[in-house]
Amino acid sequence: MKNNKLSILLRGLIAENPVLVLVLGTCPTLAQSTSVIAALSMGIAATLVLVCSNMVISVLRKIIPDTVRIPCYIVVIAGFVTVVQLLMQAYLPDLYKMMGVYLALIVVNCIILGRAEMFARKNNVIDSALDGLGMGLGFLLALLAMATIREVFGNGSFAGIEISFLADYKIPILTQAPGGFLVFGILIAIVNKIGPKKGAEKRKNFSCEGCPSASLCGKVSCAENCELVAGGEPDAADTKKEEGNA
Amino acid sequence: MEFKVLIYILLTGVFVNNYVLQRFLGICPFLGVSKKFSQATGMGIAVIFVMLCSTAVTWPIQKYVLEPNKLGYLQTIVFILVIAALVQFVEIVLKKFIPALHKSLGVYLPLITTNCAVLGVAINNITDGYNFVASMFSSLGAGAGFLLAMVLFAGVRSRIENCPSPKSVQGLPITLIAASIVSLAFFGFSGVIDNLLGM
């Protein structure tokens, strides 16, 4: 039993890393990985919200009617985001300013809604908390990996501390928007090459799995869904995948 | 507000502060629905539509309901609920009254219920202290920038699909690397707008 709890916690870190394997929460990952400090604060804030919302949703799982569950989850998550926002505004005003709109946008972070939908509504409180913690730390880990690459090579520093021998060899583009896409692409390619084979299929396409609207559009990935509804003939691979989902 | 300033806000939103390529908002639909040109256009137009509607509703709510009652801290909760409800409402109205438009846009509406670019633009309009008209222009700019990025990227992607690439970069990695190059191209615009309008 203990082993089982540990596996719930550890799963989010590597085997089902929300960012690099499940490809959820792309927006904050790209936007908040320009420096290690930003990545750390984003990761911790999201983990906090994820653990709390997972616990509350798990407690309420029998009370929330199935048909209106998504709006209910959004309210719970938005509530915790507001708490974190107010706490940061009061005690860490500099970080609050640095994170700007992305702090509020934790509400629409697919990881949090995704975990509520996939895990918290089917499991008990302790398991949900552990799952939230594991997934949150996995998100933090992926953010830190990206931020380290971008800050060390792009700015010649680590967490604000200058690395002297890199001062003449900065690649400033890495700290800007294009660098974010590039580093993220290369990281996923590396995970594809050496990482667990289990999630390989998921990494190939951008999945809607954690998307808040997934329950509305039938949980097929966006492109396929649009093709289906628009009347286009899905090719063989799509049909197969759809059957898998059904 | 001066007309020139409004145009400046609009053009900056489209080219310089492009929501997808420079601010990283709305990446999910950008990567998910950009496989085909027609889908990219439909999604882009639906996003413009929803952004304009949501700004038209959230800005008055913030100014006339939340701020006078000192409820500013409820912004996040109220905005997300209002946007989610609004999108559902718009879908129902379109279905009932303008079925033709619903047929072409309806597919994309549920997909952007809680798109982070839509919420992001609503919050940014308040943080930047825009008035109502400026907010509408900024939303239009953000939406048009999204459409432009989607359409350009759909073109790039259709070329990638036909190219042989190493196994480990197939799919998402090569798409992200291409997005990086498209985003790089947008850097070229940053000085143009300022010089053009003499700001």
Write down the pLDDT at residue A126. Answer: 87
Q: What is the pTM of this model?
A: 0.82
- String of DSSP letters for A51-70: HHHHHHHHHTTTTS-GGGHH
The helix or strand, by DSSP H or E, that contains position A158, with its residue range, turns out to be strand A157-158
Q: Is B133 part of the contact surface with chain A (CB cutoff 8 Å)?
A: no
Write down the pLDDT at residue A9. Answer: 80
Q: Please return the burial class of A236, using the count of CB atoms within 10 Å of its CB with bins 0-12, 13-18 and 19+.
A: exposed
> Out of B75, B124, B183, whose CB is closest to A177?
B183
Asked if B76 lies within 8 A of A85 by C-beta distance, the reply is: yes
1-60 of B, contacting A, C-beta below 8 A:
21-29, 31-33, 35-36, 38-39, 42-43
Q: Find, in chain B, the residue whose alpha carbon is nearest to that of A209.
A: B28
Q: Report how far residue B99's alpha carbon sits from residue B63's, in angstroms, rounded to the nearest whole number.
A: 34
Q: How far is A27 from chain B (nearest CA, A)?
A: 5
Question: What is the mean predicted confidence (pLDDT) over A209-228?
Answer: 48
The listed range with the strongest mean pLDDT (A105-114, A134-143, A168-177, B17-26) is A134-143
Q: Is A82 part of the contact surface with chain B (CB cutoff 8 Å)?
A: yes
Q: Which of chain A's residues have a Cβ under 8 Å away from the Cβ of B75?
A: 104
pLDDT at A125 over 80: yes
Q: Is B109 part of the contact surface with chain A (CB cutoff 8 Å)?
A: no
13-72 of A, contacting B, C-beta below 8 A:
23, 26-28, 30-31, 71
List the one residue out of B190, B189, B176 whose CA is nearest residue B32.
Answer: B176
Write down the pLDDT at residue A47. Answer: 92
> Out of B26, B33, B177, whose CB is closest to A181?
B177
Write down the pLDDT at residue A83. Answer: 92
Q: Which of chain B's residues have a Cβ under 8 Å away from the Cβ of A227?
A: 36, 39
Q: Find, in chain B, the residue whose alpha carbon is nearest to that of A201.
A: B171
- Residue A163's φ and ψ, nearest 5 degrees, are -105, 110
- For residue range B84-116, what is the model confidence (pLDDT) as tens digits? 888 888 888 888 887 877 776 666 776 676 678
Write down the pLDDT at residue A140. Answer: 92
> Per the structure block, which two tokens stand in for A184?
């993220």
CA-CA distances (angstroms) from residue A69 to A109, A130, A209? 17, 22, 16
Write down the pLDDT at residue B199. Answer: 62
Q: Find, in chain A, the residue whose alpha carbon is nearest to that of B35.
A: A223
Q: Report how far residue A28's alpha carbon sits from residue B53's, in angstroms, rounded to the nearest whole number.
A: 25
Asked if B28 lies within 8 A of A189 by C-beta distance, the reply is: no
pLDDT at B134 over 70: yes
- For residue range A95-124, what is the model confidence (pLDDT) as tens digits? 888 888 888 888 888 788 888 878 888 888
Write down the pLDDT at residue A196. Answer: 61
The ipTM estimated for the assembled molecules is 0.84
